[in-house]
A = this chain, B = another copy of it.
Amino acid sequence: MTATITDVARRAGVSMKTVSRVMNNEASVAEATRKKVKSAARELNYTPNLAARGLAGSKSYLIAMLYDIPSPGYAINIQKGATDACREHSYHLVVEPLETADDNFVDDVESLLGHLRVDGVVLAPPLCDNGEVIRILAKRNIPYIPIAPSAMHGETPIVKMDDVRAAKEMTQHLIELGHKNIGFIKGHPRHSASALRFEGFRDAMRRADLRIDPELIAQGQFTYKSGVEAAEALLSGKSTPTAIFAANDDMAAGVIACAGRKGLTVPDDLSVAGFDDTPIADNVWPRLTTIRQPVREMGYNAAKRLLNNSDSDEPRIILLDHELIVRESTAAPK
């Protein structure tokens, strides 16, 4: 039915091997031959068979993305970035959603990685901090790149953004607006980004010689509800903040809702800042000032690094730029 390499070879009047060379863009093929082969291939509508290629060359032309992510937007964007990189190399991306909570989680991963032979794995958070997964990957000798892991992975390069600096920038933005009494809502304690973002906040406050009122620090869970509750606490204490920086957008949206119910106008009475630039940031009123994470880029770079097996002198840490996005939820205190 579909044309094979032999058909193309016959039609172009060359050997199979030469066709193979052309298809793989190898050097040492005369220009004339290359043209001949290419047009023969086009005429026959030939496309190489992945399985055969994989079997002969012991590559699968597949990479996998393993994830267990609550946030769909995050996962989709990593995928988008990774598939972009894949296309540049004629690779494809297999997705494997996992449930860390499952009893047979480890078995699942084992059998998965057994059946499927991938040439590399993109490890999305929080899986990149999962010892079991790492162990299995290492045992099977499968190259992987963790995205935003909380620690280094030996020699393996990692891809991440700078949460501390981003939080620092956001805090500075608030300070430059003229805010002095700034509240902060921390993220889920078990998520490594939480500590980093708080650290950035603290650094910026300290550098501006601003006091951090302990009453203005609340513990959140990264959820909308926890944002509402934290705001409730912050806004009913003695010292009222003129701005609240929540460690993610969901909580920030909760703050806005809470402020509204308390009769406070955002941003006139209270500035609110978020983090992540998830869809909700654009779907509340006023729209959230936030930090855009380079999610797509992280996926892209992780996959790219996997596919360029130039184990050369490239940096061990691929640090990608975030972006401070100023919308209507922050302004100078009235």
A283 touches B224 (CB 8 A): yes
Interface residues of A, CB < 8 Å — how many?
48
* Contact between chains at B47 and A114 (CB < 8 Å): yes
Distance, CA A111 to CA B86, complexed state (A): 13
A253 to B281, CA, bound (A): 13
Q: Which residues of chain A from 72 to 95 have a CB within 8 Å of any chain B CB? A: 72-73, 75-77, 79-80, 83, 87, 90, 92-95
Is B94 within 8 A of A93, CB to CB? yes
Given the complex, which residues of B lie within 8 Å of A228, measured CB to CB? 285
Of all chain B residues, the one with the shortest Cβ separation from A90 is B115
Contact assessment for B60 and A51 in the assembled complex, using a CB-CB cutoff below 8 Å: yes
Cβ-defined contact, A95 with B115, below 8 A:
no
Instruction: Judge whether A14 is part of the interface by a CB distance below 8 angstroms.
Output: no
Decide: A76 and B83 in contact? CB cutoff 8 A.
no
What CA separation (Å) do A184 and B62 show in the bound complex? Answer: 47
Q: Quick one: closest B residue to A141, CB to CB?
A: B1
CA distance A124 to B292 in the complex (A): 27
CB < 8 Å neighbour of A95 from B77, B95, B257, B279: B95
Chain B residue nearest to A45 in the complex (CB): B114
What 1/0 flags go to A106-149 for Cβ under 8 Å of B?
00100100111100000000000000000000000000000000
Residues in B neighbouring A279, C-beta threshold 8 A:
72, 280
Contact A76-B80, Cβ < 8 Å, known A92-B94, A96-B92: no
Q: Say whether B95 contacts A79, CB under 8 Å.
A: yes
Q: Interface readout for A37-60 with B: 1 if CB under 8 Å, 0 if not?
A: 000000001011111101100001
On whether the beta carbons of B48 and A115 are closer than 8 Å, the reply is yes
Say yes or no for A238: interface residue by CB 8 A criterion: no
- Is there contact, CB below 8 Å, between B94 and A94? yes
Which residues on B sit within 8 Å (CB–CB) of A178?
none
Instruction: Report A's interface with B, CB cutoff 8 A.
Output: 45, 47-52, 54-55, 60-62, 72-73, 75-77, 79-80, 83, 87, 90, 92-97, 108, 111, 114-117, 224, 228, 250, 253-254, 257, 260-261, 279-280, 282-285
- Given contacts A51-B52, A55-B55, A95-B95, 13 further A-B pairs with CB under 8 A are A51-B117, A52-B55, A61-B115, A72-B75, A72-B76, A79-B95, A83-B95, A92-B94, A92-B115, A253-B283, A253-B284, A254-B283, A260-B260
Q: Which 6 A-B pairs rank lowest in CB-CB distance, beginning with the nearest? A: A47-B114, A51-B54, A72-B76, A224-B283, A72-B72, A72-B73
Chosen A-B contacts, 8 in total, with CB atoms closer than 8 Å, are: A51-B51, A51-B54, A62-B94, A83-B97, A92-B96, A94-B94, A250-B283, A261-B285
